Amino acid sequence: MNGKSIWQMIKFTLFSASAGIIQVGSFALFNELLRWQYWPAYLLSLVLSILWNFTLNRRYTFQSAANVPVAMAKVFGFYLVFTPLSTWLGHLAETSGVNEYIVLAVTMISNFVLEFLFCKFVVYRHQENTLPKKEKSK
């Protein structure tokens, strides 16, 4: 593993952490203040974090000029599998008595690892570092 890959993982981690703050904050708002059930609170907070994370990681982590709708469609495909599975498993865990914040933490860690691998090896494969230098500096 080279220095460039390590720096890429660091950036992905930092952007994912910021997306995690958005997800936990919005989840807490929906769960504690609005008193939503687990699954709608989780689902909407996940969507908010996905949009944030995709935007930042495409531009700054992978620096990809890949066709945005195509890249987003690939990420959408990932979440077509991940979201129903994690929502269902999270709901089962939460209704079985596991604290909803523990369920959320385990789900977020799984999402972090799987999404990095998916973006690196599927979404931006052969399309990393293709942003024109002018756009990288903005």
User: What percent of the chain clears pLDDT 90, i.e. is strictly above it?
Assistant: 80
Q: What is the mean pLDDT of residues 88-102?
A: 94
Q: How far is CA 37 from CA 56, 86, 118, in A?
A: 29, 15, 29
pLDDT in tens, 38-81: 889 989 998 999 999 999 999 999 999 989 999 999 999 999 99
CB 43 within 8 A of CB 120: no
Q: What is the mean pLDDT of residues 99-106?
A: 92
pLDDT at 137 over 60: no
Phi and psi at 129, nearest 5°, equal 55, 40
Which pTM was predicted? 0.80
